[in-house]
Amino acid sequence: MNIPNLAGIGMTSQRTRERMITSLMEKGISNWAVLDVMRTTPRHIFLDEALAHRAYEDTALPIGYGQTISQPYVVARMTEAALGRRRPEDGPLARVLEVGTGCGYQTAVIAQLAERVCTVERIQPLLAKARKNLSLLNFRNIRSKHDDGSLGWPEQGPFDAIIAAAAPQHVPAELLQQLADGGRLVIPVGGERGTQQLQLIERQGDHFNTQTLETVHFVPLYIGQVQHT
């Protein structure tokens, strides 16, 4: 597990952070490893200064380029679903793929619960911003690239878990094929906002078992790369 280096990182009040954790618990998040990571990860550094004071509100916030940093509850819910029934004695996930790096916040959360995280972002300037944010925390177990996230990262697979931060109309076959046996894909499906369902897909050999978790609101998963915005 990779613990971020918080030296030199401006800390917000502990009371503000604890209010966020209380809200997550009230909404059903029960995995203590996820709650502990969410408590200590400095969400404010992933936001522009003008929005940093709202970092620990349980809401999505803009990060530029038409994208948002996900609501803390959604980050916790997806992370908890990706971990599944793992116990502390089982150790961290070996390898996780993240589709849609965004500002790097979800990346930072899951990187503390996995041996390696491979993250893909299609918007180059946003990836540059995420890399800068993550470098502040001195992570050493994250690999990132600018590419079409719907294709995954086959050279780095198979993955114990895949977390997608954007919603395709249909689940990309490439992501399913990059799941390890027993691996879990957590992905919003539906394309347009307002009609999306967060799905948990677990691979058992050549079979994929799908469970719908809840209704969500994500940006659509677009195909291709964006060099400049």
Model pLDDT for residues 111-161, shown as the tens digit of each residue = 999 999 999 999 999 999 999 999 999 999 999 999 999 999 999 999 999
Which domains are delineated in the chain?
Answer: 14-216 (3.40.50.150)
- pLDDT for position 224: 61
Instruction: Respond yes or no: is residue 70 known to be catalytic.
Output: yes
Which is the catalytic residue, given 23, 70, 144, 150?
70
DSSP state of 9: P
CA 213, CA 198: separation in Å to the nearest integer? Answer: 5
Q: What percent of the chain has pLDDT over 70?
A: 90
- pLDDT for position 228: 53
At 24, the pLDDT band (50, 70, 90 cuts) reads very high
- pLDDT for position 223: 72
Give pairs for 28-37: CB < 8 Å, separation 24+: 29/73, 29/76, 29/77, 29/80, 30/80, 31/79, 31/80, 31/83, 33/83, 33/88, 33/113, 34/76, 34/79, 34/80, 34/83, 34/109, 34/113, 35/76, 37/79, 37/109, 37/112, 37/113
Structure tokens at 131: 């890399």
Mean pLDDT of 37-57: 94
CA 165, CA 88: separation in Å to the nearest integer? Answer: 25
Mean pLDDT of 76-93: 88
